[in-house]
Every structure is written in structure tokens, then in C-alpha cells.
Amino acid sequence: MDGLRLDGAKHLIEDAQVQQNSDATHQWYQAFRTFYKQVNPQALTVGEMFGDPSSVVASYSAGDQLDLGFDFTLATTFLNGARAGRASDVAKALDADVRAFKPAQFATFLSNHDQNRVMSQLAGKLDKARVAAALLLTAPGVPFIYYGEEIGMVGLGADDEKRTPMQWTAQANAGFTTGSPWELVNPDYVKGRNVADETADPASLLATYRALIQARNQHAALRVGDLYLAQTQATSVLASLRVSQAETVLVLINLGPDPVTGVKLTLAAGPLKNRYHALPILGAAPGADLAANGPGGFDDYQPTPTLPGYGVLIYQLQPAQ
């Protein structure tokens, strides 16, 4: 067994009127960690503790209990940002998380089996689902994807409507079973919302997820890099610098439908030195060279003339020789 997801983890042991986050619950997880790490040092536990990230969730993942805790606040903020096309609240939530948690000790996600599916929350808007995926997969933390979100499955209301069978093909029962599924398959699987059809479409949501996952797998900075949030005059643009020992990556996400021309980025202080070439990881063309300022950040850096509506650009900043 590689690990466990612990449901309702803060309710494990009640103590009189204390029905959540009791001292006994924390003590049990401390002993549990000692046990499962002896069995398998690489085993992973992730807890579902709905509550304030800094005061509740972080208290379980400080290094002596669970490995990760799901951050519901950040998930809601990701979707609200994608829905409204505003980046400021996303930036604030990310900044709060990197301050509250030990590095990468929180689990990021967009929705789960108890919540309305992402595509339903975003009113079926494919471009909004794309930027939500970009927020998830370029952020710090450990990302989790609820099955079917990567192809835009829909579902809202009752639990069974959010847990319909995975849609693999356009064949009978979406290729999920040759028998009778416990829950009926959502009928939109015959209209292209299935893995086989989206695999064949380079413009599909699945293709977006795969490209982002590939970029994260290939670039350590996107997985474990420190986060530096740049300032910009464009309210729809989230600009972040991810910095690991091996590399530096710049991420630009336009959460709005309109192109942004002449976007300029400023980072008051950071880890940069001298000049960099901006080489594309995700995006068609190289960006403009970047010159670091004295404190290791940059001033009025314009990486690209225009950032398209709902555009996602990821650059590797390679030191110039």
C-alpha cells in the first residue's frame, strides 16, 4: 500500500464537547505516523480537514502527523478566480499557504467527490476549465485530480450525480463496463466527452491537462520550487516565479477572456542574478530576455507583447552566457 486518504480526519476522536481537532486526535496521528513510516518510509497520508488552512489544516501536516492536508480554501479560490477572471485573491491565497505550511506539505485540488464538478461550477466554459487546471498544476503543493475532471465531466447536486462512471470511449456505457453500471453514465460521453475522443483532439481539455502534467514532471521548479509572486497592472494576470536548486521557471496565466497587451511584471526582491533568456516550456515562442535588479528581482519586465485571453505561458529562465 502506497498510502491512505483519511476522510473527516479532524473528527477521529471526540473529547466530551470537543468534536473536532481534539488533542487526542493529534496524539493518535503522531503515533500513527511512527507506525506507518516504519512499515514504509515512502508511504503517504493525506487528510481531509475542512477548515482554515493556517490554523486547522497546517496543524496536521507540520511534520509529526500526516504528510499532507487538503486545502479547501485554495480550491475554492482557484475556481472563483477562473470564474471571475481575477488574479488577486488567488495570489493572496497562494502567499498565505506558503507561509502557513512547510514546503509542499499541502494538497491542492479543484473539486472532489463531495462537490459539484469543476465543469458544472464553471457553467461548461472550456477556457475557464483550462486556466483552472493551469492554476492547480503550476502551484506549489501536491496536486490531486478527481477522476473525470481532466476530460470535463459534469455533475452537480446529489452525490451520485457527481460520481458517475468514468467516460473512456464513445462505446456502450462509455467503455466503463460491459455489464450494468451501478450508476448510469452521463449521456454526454457520446458527444466527444470521453478519453478516446479527447486524446485524438490536440485542442481538448485532456490535452491541456497532459501538457501541464508533462511540464510539471519535467521541471523540478514546478514541483518543489519556492514561490515568488510578481506584481502586474493587469488584474486578470497571475504571474509567478518558481525557483528550485536546478532551475527557475516563470508562469503567466491570464484568467480573463481578453488579451492583455504590454503586460509588465515587477518583483521587488528575489533570487535572480544578472540576465536570463526566457525559453518556452508551454507556449509557442521564446520570451524577452530578463535583467535582474539589485535585490534579485526585476522591474517592468515585459516577457511577451501580448498574453492571449485565457492564455497560459510557462518559461524556463536560463542564465545568459
Catalytic residue numbers, as ranges: 7, 48
Map grid coordinates 470535463 to a residue: 152
How many residues comprise the chain? Answer: 321
**Crossing angle between the packed helical segments 205-218 and 126-138, to the nearest 10 degrees:** 10
For 63: left if phi > 0, alpha if psi spans -120 to 50, otherwise beta; the answer is left
**Would you say 277 and 289 are in contact if contact means Cβ atoms under 8 Å apart?**
yes
Distance (Å, whole) CA 22 – CA 174: 45
As beta bridge partners, residue 291 has 275
Q: What string of DSSP letters covers 75-139?
A: HHHHHHHHHHT--HHHHHHHHHHHHHSSTT-SEE-S--TTS--HHHHTTT-HHHHHHHHHHHHHS
